[in-house]
Homo-oligomer: A and B are copies of this chain.
């Protein structure tokens, strides 16, 4: 199996987009797709699509395009979506509790198998099948429940202490919702989501326009 060393974030981002297009085509019953069509739906060029896919081996047949279910399956494998992942949610404040209710992760193969918090008033609360545990139990829970990723939804102030526990417990993938930059040891991957910061970029753009008018 080819194990490419350095794939840029934007390639991965586009693979995620291609997969969504392919799945939508699958639902519509379309059997094959051209690189032009994939490019068209993902704001890129056909050449870029072919280049992205060629990084992971050969796909498709010249002149015939790509088989939709086959390519979808291959991209799922590349993105690690041919298996399920065990995820702990740390922090059940505003964002965390919205995430517990959100079914989008589970649909994609990311199962929340543990919920942790630091607030005594939240410990022991039940969320579906899960009971909120205290953060001091993280190491045990990671081991017992084979947690592979953590969704970090704690206040900025709590990040350093929690992050230290998470990485020491051997978790190597973190989805961070705290509006701060995480410093992690080598081998740990962090992705950031910050909805309010994205809104701030919008209001910056809109304010600037007003200033210019």
Residues of A within 8 A of B (CB): 1, 3-4, 7, 9, 12-13, 15-17, 20, 24, 41-43, 78-81, 85, 94-95, 97-99, 101-105, 108-110, 148-149, 156-157, 172-175, 179-181, 183, 187, 189, 191-209, 211-212
Contacts and interface: CB of A to CB of B under 8 A. Distances in A.
A200 B79 contact: yes
B196 A104 contact: yes
Contacts of A187: 209
B20 A180 contact: yes
A13 B105 contact: no
Chain A contact residues: over half helix, strand or loop, or mixed? Answer: helix
10 contacts: A3-B208, A9-B201, A12-B204, A20-B156, A20-B180, A78-B204, A98-B99, A108-B196, A149-B199, A174-B202
Contacts of A9: 201
A153 to B, nearest CB: 11
Given A98-B101, A187-B209, A208-B3, A41 B196 contact: no
Nearest to A42: B181
Given A3-B208, A206-B172, A206-B189, A197 B98 contact: no
